[in-house]
A and B are shown apart, each in its own frame.
Chain A
Amino acid sequence: MGGAVFPTHMKLKINQSQPINNLVINAAECEPFITCDDMLMRERADEIIQGALIAQTILDAKECVVGIENNKIEAYEALKKAAQKTTIEIKVVPTVYPSGDAKRLIYLLMGIEVPKEKRSVDLGIQVFNVATVAAIYRYLELGEPSISRVVTITGAVKAPQNYEVLFGTPLSELIAAAGGSSNKTKKFIMGGPMMGFDLPSIHVPVTKAMNCVIESSPELFPAPKPVMPCIRCARCADACPVNLQPQELYWFSKSSQLEKARDYNLFDCIECGCCTYVCPSNIPLVQFYRYAKSEIIAQDKSKEAANTARERNDFRLARIEREKKERAERNAQKALGANEKQADDEKKSTIAAAMERVKQTQQENIKN
């Protein structure tokens, strides 16, 4: 039930070659507006801790640590209390977006940087969201399958609140429960204001990934201000949690120098939105990176398709060539065979003629 909605049963499978040593429970919930995990921790800290213990047992992990931001005091107290008699450690991390990103959280808690193009499991670290471990507990202890989650509904709705919602519930029902929409735009955002996206309609079901729904309004999220040229102030570079140079990536993405963008590690961008948040020129930087990434992926795909097509064509040409050769060989062999037969016949007839002659002479000799 974390951001990426990676299937839990896969994450709980034990990989013989890389045992899990550390289990990290992500309780950071770093985006503003979202409070569903916070509420879950306050009200069901026991379930979370029990679920974490179950996951730890399944994974045979030596240590289990919960990372929570320092602005969730009540939740921290609740977890602390629930974890009293266990070996689970509750660690506080600073409230700095995007500390809820798994790789960032691992770094904050353990000082380990997950290397490029690797996942934390490769280092023996598994990360679960608090809501996930709570669901594990409910399934294994109470036999209740994962059929609901806590959803934050907030923004311009009349009564912003956290609800426990069954999966598949129409969003419109949830909005009605929260007092209904209070403005005319009727625009809803799924996720937080930093990384969320506009929902196409309110007639969509609540899913496992839907941790938060925000009703947008011009007061909350004003229309973006007119874009000015980049003045290279590098505020974005200071803000970037991955240490990228967003101003360079912007330049390369804008001018479609996609290879350059790739060289400047575009694919290390986690699209957290910090660069856009601090840009004095109001440049929608993340959107440029999304565009550049999708362009590169599309190009790679078409390149791959072209390569496959070329390989196939090469193979086909080679096959035709080979068949031609084989046919030619067969023909040559056939021709050779025919010649040999002819030669044989000639030989035989000569021998026969000679025998005839010998016979005749012999007979003549006998007659004489």
Chain B
Amino acid sequence: MDNRSPYIVDAPSVSVIMFKVLLALIPGIALYVYAYGLGVILNIFLASLTVILTESAILAIRKLPIKVFILDGSGLVAAWLLALSIPSIAPWWIIVLGTLLCITFGKHVYGGLGYNLFNPAMLGYAILLISFPLIMSQWQIPNSLIENNIEWFDQIKIIMNSSLLSKETIDAMSSATPLDYIKTQLTLSQSLSVIQQNKIFGFLGGKGLELISLGYLAGGLYLLKEKIISWHLPVSFLASLFIIASIFYSIAPDTYASPLFHVMSGGSILCAFFIITDPVSGPTTPKGKIYFGIAIGLLVFIIRIFGGYPEGIAFAVLIMNIFVPLIDSLTQPRIFGHK
């Protein structure tokens, strides 16, 4: 007897889920363009192109249906997240190389969709950060802070051929991120209140960056509403980052930035709603998600304050990815009727 029930299904396909994630990134991207110009769009375009070409080639080699696995959209999500994580004026080959490595070594080496141990975007980011530390720390100054706005065309020129521009021009339009700036200035024994008077700081985090974070927050809330992600991860991660930052801030407010600053700067919000919520490399049990979020929040803070890098999200996520199978096996929910 053929028993193939249930005969009915009602689920959004993997593609629909992934494209909704891309859609949720749009507000953040729009604000990014508003604050910094079109550079990020070029990066996203290059990342998308690279991921489609690379995945097609790999899928062809692996003899898998190309159309199905390109249209599942998971490669594009990883590529966009990577493009949003790197400096928007990095030379073109940074994003191309990063995406190539991210999709090859972050995803297909493990068996493609559904099999990767690590978050592909964060793996790509970590490789880029370790390999090209200088480029990866030169962030663009928000348009509002430059007297002569960089023309959109200039930005594209920088990305496509940075050697054409003098070092002075690049220096004039780039700087360290607020997190980076605090870190270096603190080592020069500056007090935080003095440091934060620098023009790159805004009302919540870094100027411009905080605006983008609000855009990501809006997208994240959309994903929650659409039930693409559950509340466990963003809430536990942001709460743990906020609480540990509050503890340090309350002890020495002149050495440690405020909890709100930690939550609103760097990639905290992007991480909370888009990066740690990657289902494949994250835990699946509700309790496990909470532990995972808390651990990443703590690690991000520790790396930001005590580590060698100004931002610790990529490393924190990659470290915790290793523990996912363990977390899952230790947090099995109680089965109906079991004690």
Contact = CB atoms under 8 A, between A and B. Distances in A.
Interface of A: 32, 103, 107, 113-116, 118, 189, 191, 193-198, 200, 216, 220-221, 224-226, 228-235, 237-238, 241-245, 247-248, 264-265, 268, 273, 276-282, 284, 286-287, 290
Given A198-B1, A226-B68, A234 B335 contact: no
A234 B113 contact: no
B6 A193 contact: yes
Given A200-B1, A228-B113, A233-B279, A193 B12 contact: no
A interface, over-half SS: loop
Residue among B5, B14, B17, B338 with most chain A CB within 10 A? B5
Contacts of A103: 336-337
A237 B328 CA distance: 12
Contacts, number: 137
Given A197-B1, A237-B284, A277 B336 contact: no
A21 B3 CA distance: 37
Given A277-B11, A282-B13, 18 more contacts: A114-B337, A115-B337, A189-B5, A189-B7, A194-B7, A198-B1, A198-B2, A198-B3, A200-B1, A224-B4, A225-B13, A229-B113, A231-B17, A232-B279, A243-B334, A243-B336, A281-B114, A287-B3
Interface in B225-240: 230
Given A229-B114, A248-B328, A234 B8 contact: no
A264 B338 CA distance: 12
Given A228-B14, A234-B284, A248-B328, A194 B336 contact: no
Contacts of A198: 1-4
What 7 A-B pairs come out closest when comparing CB atoms?
A229-B114, A273-B6, A221-B7, A234-B284, A193-B7, A242-B336, A197-B3
Contacts of B4: 197-198, 224, 284, 287
Contacts of A113: 336-337
A228 B9 CA distance: 15
B interface, over-half SS: loop
B46 to A, nearest CB: 26
A194 B11 contact: no
Interface in B1-37: 1-14, 16-17
A231 B68 CA distance: 15
Nearest to B69: A228
B17 A233 contact: yes
Nearest to B113: A229
A280 B7 contact: no
11 contacts: A115-B339, A118-B337, A197-B1, A197-B3, A216-B7, A229-B111, A234-B284, A241-B336, A243-B334, A276-B6, A286-B6
Contacts of B14: 228, 231, 280-281
A243 B2 contact: no
Interface in B317-331: 328
Given A226-B68, A229-B114, A280-B14, A237 B2 contact: no
A142 to B, nearest CB: 36
Contact of A278 (B11, B16, B112): B11
Nearest to A275: B6
B8 A194 contact: yes
A114 to B, nearest CB: 6
B244 to A, nearest CB: 27
Contacts of B338: 115-116, 265, 268
Given A116-B338, A242-B336, A277-B10, A229 B3 contact: no
B280 A232 contact: yes
Contacts of A247: 284
B8 A193 contact: yes
B18 to A, nearest CB: 9
B332 interface: yes
Contacts of A273: 5-6
B180 interface: no
Nearest to A31: B6
A281 B68 CA distance: 12
B172 to A, nearest CB: 45
Contacts of B68: 226, 228
B285 interface: yes
B115 interface: yes
Contacts of A284: 4
A107 B336 CA distance: 10
Contact of B9 (A32, A229, A282): A282
B72 interface: yes
Contacts of B13: 225, 228, 280, 282
Given A197-B3, A242-B336, A279 B9 contact: yes
A280 B333 CA distance: 22
B113 A231 contact: yes
Given A113-B337, A115-B337, A247-B284, A230 B114 contact: yes
A22 B114 CA distance: 48
B74 interface: yes
Nearest to A112: B337
A216 B336 CA distance: 33
Contacts of B8: 32, 193-194, 221, 277
A264 B332 contact: yes
Contacts of B1: 197-198, 200
Contact of A232 (B9, B114, B332): B114
Contacts of A226: 68
A50 to B, nearest CB: 33
A269 B47 CA distance: 43
A317 to B, nearest CB: 43
